[in-house]
Amino acid sequence: MSRLERYLWNGVLLATPWLSYFAIADRFGEAAADRLYRLFVFMMVAALVFAASNWFAWLMAREVRRVLTALRLQTNRAWKWSHAIEPEQMTVGSTRIWVGKGVSSNQREQLARVSEALAIVGEILPSRLERMRRLGTQLAVAHNAAYAAYFPGANALVIDPQALAESPAVLASILVHELNHALTSTRGTVHPWHLRRMERLACLDQYNFAGRLYRRGQLADALRIRDLVAGSMQADTSFRTRWKRARESIDRRARTA
């Protein structure tokens, strides 16, 4: 909760008793308002207590974010159109992938790596592959603001074409990371104040996957995953940065469309 929000909601809380008094006085007369004098005093004391504890401000800030999140999820449900990726469904091996507009021919040749990555997940951590099947998560390759992202409303795991340049093992770790987000999202934890905690859990899952690769002798892949995890934990999640990344992904799509 920002300082501005705290001031705003506490100001609303403290102003409510006074505004209520003047509203009744204006409608029914000062005599009627004076008969409720004790009620207004009680309301003012209660407002002061709640303002001092920041309870009301915290509650309102959280609920406003809940409404905004619900709107975002509603937009996610139409992700094929709202993100202007105009995907076509392709079958690569035994894997169905939604391929977005702007994915170049060179990148389309790399789509097989998604199937290879899923095979590695199934070999090393089969429970995560079973999770994807149980949740019915769709796979898509489309220009995105991050290497990969899970869209809760659409139950879609979207991989940016740039991530296809990674080795299948590294790409498998990215799928493991996002499938962790898929699990936590289905448990009702989609809220901005939960994002950092959910990201830590997903990064821990990805890091443990890197450990399994390391024990198999895949040192280079394990070190690359470690770097990706460190980048995720230190990522700038401010609105301005996220908007800039979104614009860059749109520009990349426009250049290759």
Digit-coded pLDDT (tens) for 52-83? 888 888 888 888 888 887 887 777 776 665 55
Same-domain status, 30 and 99: no
Q: Is the pLDDT of residue 233 over 70?
A: yes
Same-domain status, 41 and 96: no
What is the CA angle 108-90-171, rounded to 5? 55
Residues 203, 164: Cα–Cα separation, whole Å: 19
Same-domain status, 38 and 151: no
Tally of structural domains, the chain: 2
Same-domain status, 133 and 60: no
At 100 the pLDDT is 85
Last residue of a domain, which of 55, 76, 97?
76
SS3 151: strand
Range with top average pLDDT, 27-36, 117-126, 145-154: 117-126
- Show the domain range for 146: 83-256
Nearest to 175 by CA among 145, 146, 217, 132: 132
SS3 57: helix
* Paired strand residues for 96: 91
Nearest to 128 by CA among 203, 163, 178: 178
Same-domain status, 111 and 194: yes
Same-domain status, 116 and 199: yes
Least confident of 125-134, 205-214, 230-239, 248-257: 248-257
Full-model pTM: 0.78
Q: Is the pLDDT of residue 10 over 60?
A: yes
At 80 the pLDDT is 60
Question: How high is the mean pLDDT of the chain?
Answer: 85
Same-domain status, 116 and 215: yes
Last residue of a domain, which of 76, 106, 126?
76
The Cα-based distances of 154 to 87, 100, 111, 136 in angstroms read: 14, 15, 21, 10
Structure tokens that stand for 110 in this block: 């790399």
The Cα-based distances of 39 to 17, 33, 34, 42, 46 in angstroms read: 9, 10, 10, 5, 10
Same-domain status, 22 and 135: no
In the chain, % of residues over pLDDT 70? 96
Same-domain status, 203 and 156: yes
Positive/negative CA dihedral, 243, 249, 254, 255: positive
Last residue of a domain, which of 45, 76, 107?
76
Q: Is the pLDDT of residue 21 over 90?
A: no
Same-domain status, 175 and 94: yes
Residues 101, 161: Cα–Cα separation, whole Å: 11
Residues 28, 30: Cα–Cα separation, whole Å: 7
Same-domain status, 47 and 94: no
Over range 172-178, report the average pLDDT. 96
Same-domain status, 7 and 108: no
Over range 217-230, report the average pLDDT. 94
